[in-house]
Structure formats: C-alpha cells, structure tokens
Chain A
Amino acid sequence: MNKQKDLSHSPKRILFTVLGTGFYALLCAIIAFPLLAGLLASFRPGTELIRRGLSIDLDFSTMTLNNYKYLFGGNVDSQKYFMWYKNSLIITLVSVVLTLFICYFVAYGLTMYNFPLQNVLFTLVIATMMVPFEILMLPMYKEIIALHLIDTYTGVIITGLCSASTIFFFRQYLGGLPKDLLSAARIDGANEYYISVKIILPLTKPAFASMGILCAMGAWNSILWPLLVLKGAEKFTLPIGLNTLLTPYGNNYDVLIAGSMFGILPIFVIFLLFQRYIIDGMTAGAVKG
C-alpha cells in the first residue's frame, strides 16, 4: 500500500499524468472548437458569417443578442422555426415510444421462448443490418407514395419502427434475465402477455433508457428519409427546415446560426443527464460481437 502511494507521487509518474491528461485536453479543445466557434458566431450578425466565415475574435463589445431576440421574436421566421422545432419534437417522441415498445416485444418473443422459427427470425434481424438504408430508400419512397403516406409523419416514422439494433440490444438484455421468473409467474396463473408487460418489462428499465436516448438522438437528427417524405414546409423537421435556410443569398443566416445552436440544446441536455446509459447502449454490440 505504502509502496504504491510512493509510486503515484514519483516525478516520472507525475510527468506521465500531465502528458496523458494534457493530450486529452488538447484533443478535446480541437474537437470542441467548431461548436464553440458556432456558439460565438451566433452572437454576431449573420452577414458577418458570409463575409468572414466562423470568426472567433473574442470582442465582446461587438457581440449582440440580436439573433436570439429575432429567433424568439414571434416574427414570421421565428414562427416557422418553432413550427419545425415542434414537428421534430412530435416525430421524435412518437417514434421513440413506439420503437421501444415494439422492439421490446419482438426481442421478448425471440428470447423468452423456444419455437421453430426462432433462429431463422433472429438471422433475419441481423440480415436487415447488412443492407445500407440508402439502397432501400428509392423503392421505399415509391412504396410510401403508393400507400398515400407521402408528406405525413406516419410515413416518416413507420419505416424505422422495427429497428434491428434496438431489437438486438433488448435481446441481449433479456437474455441475461433468469428464465425461472417466467415459469414462476405461469405457475401463479399469469398469462403470457401479462408476464411480458407486468413482470419482465419493469426489469428492463435500464435497457429502455439506453435505447430511448439513442433512438431519440437518431430521430432528432434524422435527415435523409424525412427529406424525401416531407414535402410541405409546414411539416418539415428542424434539420430539414434549417437546411432550407441555406440559400446562396444568405439572408437567413441570423436564424440559421442561432437556430442551429438552439437546435442542439435538447439533445445535449439529454446527453448530459443520461450519459452513462448512452455509452452502455451504444457499445453493447461491439464487445460481444
């Protein structure tokens, strides 16, 4: 014990700690730079962005809150922005709740029973991960038109409800629970659906938290599919709406930069609150292969 204490205070040891920690401080400074620069730029007139790029001179005297005042000012642009914000919130919330429950039940069926098609179905779950979405995008677009779901939130949400990675994660989590729970509940006379909802589901709260956050991040930042499905400006999600502000004339850069920064906020807050769950959920597939 004493020996170890001595070691941790040796000059060599301290030097390594300074170097190791310093390396990460430097790396993080580089990584954080674009976001910090964007934040600083959001306190400057939008015209300056076009003329000078992301300028980072820390001249507080020329900084203004005008972009944010305009963004929250209740004018036409502000109304549009918050309409997109609301649309994104609705789509994110609905798709996260539905995805979690659907994927939970599918994983439950695949894990808690032994039935003939079990392995075939699980192989199919994995197979869906092997094809990039972009290849299915055009036929799905035609399909959504044929189903009259174009320009609807249903059309945006429905295609991603059975997420293979979410099923995969729930399956791993459920696989770690003792099967005795089921037989005990059956002896008590509980039916299959009661067991899945009332007995097993409460035990999987951490899995719901992990997957919920990852799904929320995905839905909030999703671009490609909503870009195809949503046609009317009043239905746009936030990323799609912000994208329309990118005109060559740049007359919307005030809203664009302040709106972008304010648009990151919800996901950053969720991240900081639930960081632990995110890392658990994200890395689940990477360790066990």
Chain B
Amino acid sequence: MKSKNFLYSQKVAPYIFVLPFILSFAIFWIYPLITAFTMSFQDIGAIKSDWVGLANYTKLLKDKVFMIAVSNSAKYMFFTLVLLIPFPMLFAVLMDSNIVKAKGVWKAILYMPALTSVVISGTLFRLMFTEYKTGQMNLISQALGFGTYKWLKNGWSGMLALLVVACWRWTGVNMLYFLSGLKAIDTSLYEAADIDGASAIQKFRYVTLPLLKPTTVYVLTISVYAGLSMFLESYMLWAGNSSPNNIGLTIVGYLYKRGIEKNDMGYACAVGVVLLVVALIINFVQLILNGTFKKEED
C-alpha cells in the first residue's frame, strides 16, 4: 500500500511519465552517439576491434572520394538554401494575398510530393532524366535545339537532377511553413504601414521580412541538416549507391558505402563525426548571425 502511494504522489508521477524518454534517450541516442565517437578511433573487426587513435581521421583527410562526397553535399546544401528559401517565401506571400483563388487546391497539390516515398519519386525522376530521346529532359533540350544529353552521367547535370528533385519535394512544404509564419503576423501592422503610405515592396521589406524571421531561421536550420545529410535521393536517382565518377555521392552515401557495403564501421563513424561537426558549426554560425541567442531587445 505504501509503495502504491509513493508511485501515485505528485512528486514521483512526472518521473514515471518521462521515463520512456529517459530510457530511449539513453539507449537510442546518448549510447550510439558516444559509440559513434569511440568507434571512429577504432578499427572495427568482426571479432575484435583495435584502437587506432586518429588514423581514421588522417586517412579521411587524404581520401579523394571523401572530398568528392563533401563537395557534393556542400554544393547540394548551398543550392537548396538558395532555391528553397527565397522562392517558397515569395510564393507564400503571393498565396497569402487576396489575388489568388482556389487556395486549398493549390496547397494540396504542392504538398503531394512530400507524401510520396523517395523510392517512387526517385524512380519517376530517373525515368524523366533518362538519356533516351523520349525522356522529358531530353525532349526539352531537343526543343531548345541542344539535342540529347546524358543527364545522369555528367557532374553538373547530375547535381541539377538532385536539385530538381529537392525543389519538387520541398517547395510546397517550405511554402506552408512560411504561410503559417505570415498568418501569425498582426494585420494591424500592415494597416499602419498603409496609413504611412508604404508601397508593397516597402511593406515586405520592413514588416513581412523581419516578422517572418523565426520561420526563416527554422526553415534554414532544417534545410542545413537536410542538405548536408541527403542520401536517399541520390541512392534512388542512380538506383543504388554508385553513380558514374561519384557525381551523386554524398557524405551519408559514403558513410553507408564504407559502413554497410564495405563493413568498415570505424572509418564510416569518422565520416559521421565529421558530418556532425560540420552540421553543428554551420547551424551555430547561422543562429549567431541571425541573433537567435541574443536576449529579446524589447
């Protein structure tokens, strides 16, 4: 009876509620995270593992394939930020205005790519970027007078294909993020700006943009992570984890190749640690530049 009262007390109950999180955090987050670090200093064998110090990291620095993967992931992240923040933001402003009719229909259609599994969308886009002359991309390029092109066999066009898939999947989602940010802006601010005789561009610059900042920072943060850790899109576009001359290889793709396909877990974990450090640094710098850590001034 006493133990029952103990478990039912207001002091103990919260710990019971959060217990699943504590367990999951310990087993499926902190333990694997620490293991990722310790494994990166080891040569992981089937039976026994040896400590090799920084050997995995020094090998990484000289690994040309890894450098290709880093460069691909960095380019991909950069271009997704350029394409998937300003345009969805402008689309959201347009969607929020009263000159667009049938908004529900457009929002639903724009969201559909996000519902589609990467296996399916990757297959569809691989067929559209085929080197045969009946593929959509080649139809476009022929119509423009350029003839057919081997889209998935050349560096720049392979990156283009990845970016097209990214824009296709995330434009609608990011637009919805910005749209909900716009809905949170007090309309009286626009009325005040109207009274002051502000133009549409001035209203966007001095009211919308600053007040949309929390949303922008959020989208930026998730985009940095998504960009740097992209893997499946490339895996599906080239039907497996190998593209010609590694034009589609990403950091996570290399981690997968080393860890799962080549069973070199220690080296793969070093790749993972580099990815984590890069992602944290970029986001930290981004958050500082955006003043997220500063106290509210007002």
Q: Could you tell me which A residues sit within 8 Å of B by CB distance?
A: 13, 16-17, 19-21, 23-25, 27-28, 31-32, 34-35, 37-38, 41, 49, 51-56, 102, 105-106, 108-110, 112-113, 115, 117-118, 121, 124-125, 128, 130-143, 158-159, 161-162, 167, 191-193, 196, 217, 220-221, 223-224, 228, 238-239, 242-243, 246, 248, 256-257, 260, 263-264, 267-268, 271-272, 275, 278-279, 282-283, 285-289
Q: Is the CB of A246 within 8 A of B123?
A: yes
Say yes or no: A191-B8 contact (C-beta < 8 A), given A32-B109, A109-B18, A138-B36: yes
Q: Is the CB of A113 within 8 A of B10?
A: yes
3 smallest CB-CB distances across A and B, nearest first, come from A109-B17, A20-B99, A162-B24
Q: Could you tell me which B residues sit within 8 Å of A by CB distance?
A: 8-11, 13-18, 20-22, 24-25, 27-29, 31-33, 35-36, 39, 91, 94-95, 97, 99-102, 104-121, 123-125, 127-128, 130, 132, 134-136, 168, 171-173, 176-177, 179-181, 183-184, 214-215, 217-219, 225, 228-229, 231-232, 236, 239-240, 252, 255, 259-260, 265, 268-269, 272-273, 275-276, 279-280, 283
Q: Is the CB of B121 within 8 A of A34?
A: yes
Say yes or no: A162-B20 contact (C-beta < 8 A), given A109-B13, A136-B29, A275-B108: yes
Q: Nearest chain-B residue to A21 (Cβ)?
A: B101
A34 to chain B, nearest CB (A): 5
Q: Is the CB of B102 within 8 A of A21?
A: yes
State which of A16, A106, A243, A246 has its C-beta within 8 Å of the C-beta of B17: A106
Number of A-B contacts (CB under 8 A): 270
Bound Cα distance A142, B268 (Å): 13
Q: Is the CB of B260 within 8 A of A228?
A: yes
Given contacts A54-B128, A113-B10, 19 further A-B contacts (CB under 8 A): A17-B101, A38-B120, A49-B127, A54-B135, A110-B18, A121-B18, A125-B21, A130-B280, A132-B276, A135-B273, A135-B276, A136-B36, A140-B28, A141-B260, A143-B35, A159-B28, A193-B8, A275-B107, A283-B179
Q: Is the CB of B180 within 8 A of A55?
A: no
By a CB distance below 8 angstroms, the chain A residues around B259 are 137-138, 141
The majority secondary structure among interface residues of chain A is helix
B201 to chain A, nearest CB (A): 15
Say yes or no: A139-B180 contact (C-beta < 8 A), given A28-B106, A132-B275, A243-B119: no
Q: Is the CB of B119 within 8 A of A223?
A: yes
By a CB distance below 8 angstroms, the chain B residues around A130 are 280, 283
Q: Is the CB of A264 within 8 A of B115?
A: yes
Say yes or no: A263-B117 contact (C-beta < 8 A), given A53-B135, A287-B184: yes
Q: Is the CB of A264 within 8 A of B116?
A: yes
State which of B112, B123, B218 has its C-beta within 8 Å of the C-beta of A268: B112
Bound Cα distance A24, B175 (Å): 12
Q: Nearest chain-B residue to A285 (Cβ)?
A: B218
Q: Is the CB of B25 within 8 A of A288?
A: no
A225 to chain B, nearest CB (A): 11
By a CB distance below 8 angstroms, the chain A residues around B252 are 132, 134
Bound Cα distance A125, B168 (Å): 31
By a CB distance below 8 angstroms, the chain B residues around A19 are 99
Residue with the highest number of chain A CB atoms closer than 10 Å, among B17, B236, B259: B17
Q: Is the CB of A139 within 8 A of B269?
A: yes
Q: Is the CB of A264 within 8 A of B21?
A: no
By a CB distance below 8 angstroms, the chain A residues around B39 are 138-139
State which of B18, B229, B280 has its C-beta within 8 Å of the C-beta of A134: B229
Bound Cα distance A223, B176 (Å): 25
By a CB distance below 8 angstroms, the chain A residues around B232 are 223-224
Say yes or no: A131-B33 contact (C-beta < 8 A), given A20-B99, A192-B8, A263-B120: yes
By a CB distance below 8 angstroms, the chain B residues around A264 are 115-117, 120
Bound Cα distance A288, B109 (Å): 26
State which of A31, A158, A221 has its C-beta within 8 Å of the C-beta of B171: A31
B76 to chain A, nearest CB (A): 14
Q: Is the CB of B225 within 8 A of A132?
A: yes
Q: List 22 A-B contacts (CB under 8 A).
A: A20-B99, A37-B136, A49-B127, A53-B130, A106-B21, A109-B13, A110-B18, A133-B229, A134-B275, A136-B29, A136-B36, A138-B255, A162-B21, A223-B117, A223-B118, A238-B117, A263-B120, A267-B115, A279-B111, A286-B180, A287-B214, A287-B215
By a CB distance below 8 angstroms, the chain B residues around A279 are 107, 111, 176, 180
B39 to chain A, nearest CB (A): 6
